[in-house]
Amino acid sequence: MKLTAQQINHIKLFIAKRGFTYPDVQLEIIDHVASRVEELMTESPELNLDEAIGITHAEFGVMGFSVFEDALINSLQQKYFKLFKTIFLSYLNWKYLPAMAAFIYLFYRTYVAINNPQGFVTAGLIGFFIALVITGTRYELKYKKYSKLLTMRMGNFYLVICCVLFNLWNVLGNSFKLYRLVSTGQSGIIFGVMVVFVVLLFITVNKLRKIAIKNCKELDEKYHLISGL
């Protein structure tokens, strides 16, 4: 049997009381529970909605939905991590390599012409943080109601890698005098490669977020959870 909107809302309220951290995880649980309740009520028409929900909840064991939530979080993390790798590696295709090489060469020529490694890195760090703030603000405004999704938080983690990468280079350059261990040209090439890596990371994270939001929208059309946040 097909559940009515009122019955689905009843399931949503039941699950919401369990307190889940991420809306996308809650959507997955609602989808699973609603499907199982439909199945039980089809097999046993004498069951009412609360009884079917109770049976479904009991099937998760004494820990209830918490175990399923943990499993879903791990599953979604693995799914999106694999997708992240697939998207990122897709940009390391021979079609894009000439453009990357050209960018690194132009970056290297500018780096050598300025001949001020520490100043160049400092300017790069400032530019990176400005770009990060602008990107973060843009996504916050555009996808505000999706900001609590697990995938959004994962995307923030990947962007933190960029901060660590640039800061590591800065520390190695200043504290360990890396700028003196390599020539200006070599240092420019290394920094250029890092910039390309960060740009690809930004593009990958943004594409990953769009895919995750699209998946959530498809479920939300059925259950209208996120739109109510």
Q: Is residue 191 in some structural domain?
A: yes
Domain boundary pick from 17, 51, 79? 79
Kindly report the pTM of this predicted structure. 0.65
The Cα angle at residue 125 between residues 122 and 128, in degrees rounded to 5? 150
Residue 102 and residue 201 in one domain: yes
Tell me the one-letter amino acid at 14.
F
Percentage of residues of the chain with pLDDT beyond 90 = 3
Helix/strand number for the chain, H first, E second: 9, 0
Q: Is residue 229 in some structural domain?
A: no
Chain mean pLDDT for the chain: 75
Token representation of residue 169:
């280079």
Residue 44 and residue 148 in one domain: no
The Cα angle at residue 219 between residues 38 and 35, in degrees rounded to 5? 15
Domain boundary pick from 47, 79, 111? 79
Q: Is residue 228 in some structural domain?
A: no
Q: Please name which of 26, 30, 29 lies closest in space to residue 3, comparing C-alpha atoms.
A: 30
The residue segments making up the domain with residue 46 are 5-79
pLDDT digits (tens, 9 = 90+) for 73-84: 788 778 888 888
Element (H, E) at 167: helix 150-174
What's the rounded Cα separation, in Å, for the pair 69 and 65? 6
Q: Is residue 18 in some structural domain?
A: yes
Residue 95 and residue 62 in one domain: no
Residue 108 and residue 156 in one domain: yes
Q: Are 159 and 202 in contact (CB under 8 A)?
A: yes
Q: Dihedrals φ, ψ of 224, to 5°?
A: 50, 50
Residue 25 and residue 54 in one domain: yes
Residue 51 and residue 104 in one domain: no
Q: Is residue 86 in some structural domain?
A: no
Residue 131 and residue 188 in one domain: yes
Q: Is residue 17 in some structural domain?
A: yes
Between residues 59 and 132, the one the model is more confident about: 59
Residue 133 and residue 215 in one domain: yes
> Looking at residue 229, what is its pLDDT?
44
Residue 183 and residue 212 in one domain: yes
Residue 141 and residue 208 in one domain: yes
Question: CA distances (Å), 2 to each of 7, 26, 36, 58, in order?
Answer: 10, 21, 11, 22
pLDDT digits (tens, 9 = 90+) for 148-174: 677 666 666 666 666 676 666 666 655
134 pLDDT band, cuts 50/70/90, is confident
Residue 217 and residue 148 in one domain: yes
Domain boundary pick from 57, 79, 101? 79
Number of domains in the chain: 2
CB-based contacts of 173: which residues, under 8 Å, 6+ apart? 117, 118, 121, 179, 187
Residue 99 and residue 73 in one domain: no
